[in-house]
Structure 1
Amino acid sequence: MSQPGAYGQRLGQFLRLKETPPALVTRSLRSTELAVTETRNDRPVPGLSGSFAAEDAFLVSLKLRDYPDCELWDDGKYITKADVHAGTTYLYDLKRDPRYVIDKPFHSLHFYIPRSALDNISDQCNAPRIDELDCRVGIAHDDETIRHIGASLRKGLRRPDEANQIFIDHMMLGLTAHVAQTYGGLARKSSEPARGGLASWQAKRACERLESDLGGKLSLQNIATELDLSVSHFSRAFRISVGMPPHQWLLHQRVKAAKQLMTVRDLPLTEIAISAGFANQSHFTRVFSSIVGVSPAAWRRETLGATPDPPPSSSR
């Protein structure tokens, strides 16, 4: 069965990559797929890119490397040449068969956004549905928000086992809303009442559900549905009530659980990391150090006067 959507394997085939590029996928908007794919080829074979089957969807492409004198095609016709600069963003309408000549090294992030995702965002904001996005051929956008989201998601693409699903949901939902507002003219109706935080029982239930799955496999959609809220409303209300986004709150709970486990003096940090929901000891150390300010081993020594933790066994 062929993979739906212009991401992952299909995007790799379009760019004539030998291996499937890394991708992160979320279904946080009523099961609509959103995805980000990182593509890179330092030694491409010159030629025209592949072609996507027409679909009502868009690619938002963040360029990570300069690509001078890029030959652009649209609807089967040569349109123009443009100098593409690292850090800029381009939008492509997949109904129009966007293509380009691959004759230089390239490196990009591609965000896949189907029409249904934009419709869901509009419905949640009580706003008219978006007609079109600004997909003018060869027009670059200097978009700091997309650069920031791209930098955050690249960490997850490099270490997919460390990227919890709630974080992916949160970042892709934010990107889709930003694209809808910035390039589609989405605006909430002025008559829409301001929304506050969660009710106390909702906040308690959401925290219990997040804490029950420290590994982060639970999606924002699951929790929002249980509370009879849209994903975007839930994410916004949770941050108002708790003081941080769900994925950050989850990281703090992992650290809290790890601290409790570290009171068991003979328990290795490798086992503590897995038990507290981290992918491995390296992931545990990075997150713990960023939140607490010292490494887990240092915190354990300072708090308990423990001896240094033995190095992980190489026999595993």
Structure 2
Amino acid sequence: MYDGAFGDRLGRSFQLNNPPVLRSQTRRGVRLAVTELRIDQVGYGMTSPMGSDDAYLVCLNLRKQSTHELWCDGRSVCSTSYEGGTTYVLDLRRDPIAYIGDPLHSLYFYMPRQAIVEARDELGTKSTVDLAIQPGDCLRDSIVNSIGQTLLPIFDKAAAANQALVDHLLQGLCAYMASTYGGSSTRPDIVRGALAPWQQRLTTQMMRERIFEGISINELAEACGLSAGALARGFKKSTGLSPHQWLLSRRVDLALDLMTDPDISLAEIAFNAGFSDQSHFSRVFMQRMGVAPGAWRKSLANNKRVEAA
């Protein structure tokens, strides 16, 4: 079951096992968390998908990255460097993945939009509940940095003894982000010929619900009030992928989660992720990740042995 992009779930996206995590929740019971991730190697490469979720990751970079590229919705949105002490935001509705070139040390604050809604209700504001920060924009925010630096020592202590402080800081950060950066959606302006935002959300949701059996272009088009051709062209313009390619990419996301279990064979993974057979799975996986499934799984096992040593 998908449990949010924090802790072990987020760690798997970076091929890290059981990273330190601190958890809290809002007064209405919405989950908040912050995960500390460290990668000491140079040229780490691509992360795995972080999971599609109606939430943000607020990332505090504790170490400089001279090479960093971000993809959202299957297309590159920025290629830049960033300094230590800066912050950027990932919208998990956009399936972000990243290329990491330098050793990394960052804190990733998991912040569902429900929590931002709650914070804005408590603040008595009426504006929208998106964070108005474009993908790839790096901010030097002293409040985010101070909260992160205060939390850092707690990862090495008994979290339960400091839970009240963790609650205060994570809930306070959520309220701060809502009041300071709340505004229009982080999504870019609609590209001419692309789907409207509601059409893109509807089609991707329908495909997620039919990830195993698939869904026809005609069904997607009818739901959006478009012809099949207009739907296909608009979807490609919006995401950089055809609907079929997008669906295959989500099946690879599911397979990546399943591959962390060493007791499941690749043939079983292919079947459970919705591929017609292992050969089809291997071809699609190679196109998406650049390596064969067996090589990817071997790298996961090697990383776990290194961590355990």
Tell me what 1:13 maps to. Answer: 12
Q: CA deviation at 1:41?
A: 0.9
Asked if the contact 2:72/2:97 (under 8 Å) is kept, the reply is yes
What is the aligned counterpart of 2:130 among 129, 132, 142?
132
| Alignment RMSD (CA, Å) | 1.8
2:61 maps to which of 55, 60, 63: 63
CA distance in 1, matches of 2:56, 2:128: 13
Instruction: Give the drift of 1:163.
Output: 4.1
Aligned to 1:141: 139
Instruction: Look up the equivalent residue of 2:126 and give its one-letter code.
Output: P
| Aligned 8 A contact 1:25 1:35 in 2 | yes
Structure 1 residue 161 displacement after superposition: 4.0
**Would you say the 8 A contact 1:58–1:91 is kept in 2?**
yes
Displacement of 1:29 after TM fit?
A: 2.8
Q: Tell me how far apart the structure 1 counterparts of residues 93 and 183 of structure 2 sit (CA, whole Å).
A: 20
Identity %: 38
User: Offset at 1:13?
Assistant: 0.7
Query: In the alignment, is residue 170 of structure 1 matched against residue 194 of structure 2?
Result: no
- Give the TM-score, by structure 2 length: 0.56
How far has the Cα of 1:129 moved from its partner?
5.2
Residue 128 of structure 1 aligns with an amino acid whose one-letter code is K
4+ aligned runs moved over 4 Å, structure 1: none
Q: TM-score, normalised by structure 1?
A: 0.55
Per mean C-alpha deviation after superposition, the further-off stretch among 34-43 and 48-57 is: 48-57
Separation in structure 2 between the aligned mates of residue 65 and residue 178 of structure 1, nearest angstrom: 23
Preserved contact between residue 61 and residue 87 of structure 2 (Cα < 8 Å): yes
Distance 1:81 1:149 in 2: 27
Highest CA radius of gyration, 1 or 2? 1
Deviations 1:141-193 (A, max 9, x none): 1100011100111111121346422111111111001101111149xxxxxxx
Kindly tell me the number of residue pairs found equivalent between the two proteins.
184
1:250-290 residue CA offsets vs partner (Å, 9 max, x unmatched): xxxxxxxxxxxxxxxxxxxxxxxxxxxxxxxxxxxxxxxxx
Give SS of 1:172's match: helix
Aligned amino acid, residue 146 of structure 1: V
For the residues of structure 1 that align with 2:168 and 2:41, how far apart are their CA atoms?
A: 34
Provide the residue aligned with 2:194 in structure 1: none
Q: Which residue of 2 aligns with 1:302?
A: none
After superposition, give the CA deviation of every residue in 1:183-241 in whole Å (9 maximum; x if it has no partner): 1149xxxxxxxxxxxxxxxxxxxxxxxxxxxxxxxxxxxxxxxxxxxxxxxxxxxxxxx
Aligned equivalents of 1:184, 1:161: Cα separation in 2: 30
Q: Cα distance 1:40–1:146, how it changes in 2: closer, same or farther (>3 A)?
A: same
* Structure 2: distance between partners of 1:161 and 1:116: 25
Aligned pairs (5 A) from 1:280-299? none
C-alpha distance in structure 2 between counterparts of 1:56 and 1:123, whole Å: 18
Instruction: Structure 1 unaligned segments of length 5 or more: list them.
Output: 187-316
Residues 44, 16 of structure 1: CA spacing in aligned structure 2 closer, same or farther, 3 A cutoff?
farther
